[in-house]
Structure 1
C-alpha cells in the first residue's frame, strides 16, 4: 500500500531533486495551484532542485511563458524538461522521415522551429497527409471532439505506412473542470489500428534522460535514489518513475480524484482499490501537492 502523507515536507529530506509534473499538480490548466507553488518554493529554499517534467508538446521556452501566464513564479523551479523538446530532437534526427504531416492545432506550430542543439539535423518539411512520410502528432485538432473523428486521417496515414511521432503521451488532461483529449489518445488509437507510434514523454525513457541532462547542466550529478518524481498520472508519472527506479509521490486529487474519492486527501480504501486495479505502487500518495 502506498504511504499517504500530508505534505511534501514530510518526506522530502532524503531527496536532492524533484521531477515534478505540471498539469494537475502545479497548475490546473487555467491557473497555478497556490499550495503546490508554496511547497516547491519551500523545497528549493531548503537546497533542493526542482525540474518540471511535462508531457507538453511545447518547447521549454513556450512552457516557461505559459507558466508566467498561469501565475507560477520562477522561484518555484530550476528548469524544465518537456516531451516536446525530446520529441523535437527525435524529429530532427529523422525518425519519421523528412516530409511530415502535422496532426495538431496551429497553436503548436512552434514545434517545428529549427533545433540548433543537434549536429547535422535533417531538414523537416511540413506537407499534406497524402505526401507525407510520417506524422507528427502534437494533439487532436479539436481536443473535445469524438475520437472517432480522428479515424479517417489515421486510416490514410496507415495506408501510407507512416510512423506517428507522439509529442505528448498523455491520454487526457483536465483544463479547469473540462477534460480534454491529448496526443497520447491519438497515438493509442493509431497503434490499435496497426500503426507504429513513437513516444518521447512520460512514461518513456527519453524524457527522463532529458531531465537528467537538465540536472547535469545545473552542475549536479544526482543518483536516482535521491530523486523523487511527483505527478497525478498513474500511467505516465508513476509508471515512468517505477520504470526508471525512482521513488514517486502520487497526486490522487488530479486525474484520479473520482476513483480515489479525493477531496483534501484520498479515501484509503478507494485508493487501495484504484492502485490494485491499475497494478501500480507509488511510493507515497497525497491528495494535492502542498
Structure 2
C-alpha cells in the first residue's frame, strides 16, 4: 500500500476551486483535497477518492464549505458495444468537511464528442476524442447552478442542480476552417498510431471535422460569472463574460494566447504558460474596467 505524502504536499494536482475561506486543490493520485488559505498556507485536508485522475478537475466549493465534485462516474446497467466498457453516468458529489459524501444526478449536455475506437493487439479497447471535435462542457458553480455548453455552437444553457436546462445565451459566430495541411497531418497521425498499436474498430479518421468548434473553452469565476472563449481568426479573441442570469456584461482582451484552463478570482485572472525555457509558470493578469 502506497503511503501518502505529508499533509500539504501535492503529488498530482489537477485543479483548484475558491471557497469561502480557503482554496481547495484536488490531488486525485493521493485521494484527497488539500485546503490552503489565500496566502498559500496549509489549513487541512479532506480524504475522498477521486474519479478525475488524468482529467482537469472542474469542481467548486459552496457556502457551507462542501466540495462539489463533478463529474463523478457512477456505473449503470449495460455495456458500451463499441469499447466493451461498462456504461456509466455522470453525477454530482458533495463532499462535506468531515469527509462524508453524497451524490445527486448530473446534467446531460448534448451528445458527447465523436470518438474513434481502436482495439489493441491484446484485445484492450480504447477510444479517443477526434481532433477539432466539439466536446460539450459542463461546469458546476459554488452557488448550485450548472452551466452547460455544447461548444459546437455559441449557446449557453443553465440550470439549478436537479432542474431542466434552459437556454440563456445564443449567438451566431462564423466557423473557422482547419488548415488542410494540419487536418491531413492529424489523419496520418491517427492512422499510424492505430496501425502500430492495434486495429481500428471504426473509421474515425475520416470523421475528423474540417472546422474548429465555435467555442474553445468556458471558465467560471468566484462570483458565478461565465467566461466564454471562442475560436476566431483574431488571436487571442475577446473573451465574452456573462453574469449568472446570462446577461452579457463585458468583453475582455488579454495580451497573449491563454492556456486550456483559467482561474479567475478577486479581480485577477490566473493562467499557466511556458517561459523561454519551456518551464510552466503562473501568470497573473489584473482585470481592469474601462
Indicate the TM-score class for this superposition, using the shorter chain for normalisation. Answer: under 0.3
TM-score by length of 1: 0.26
Higher RCO (Cα < 8 Å, 6 or more apart): 1
Higher strand share: 2
TM-score, scaled relative to structure 2: 0.26
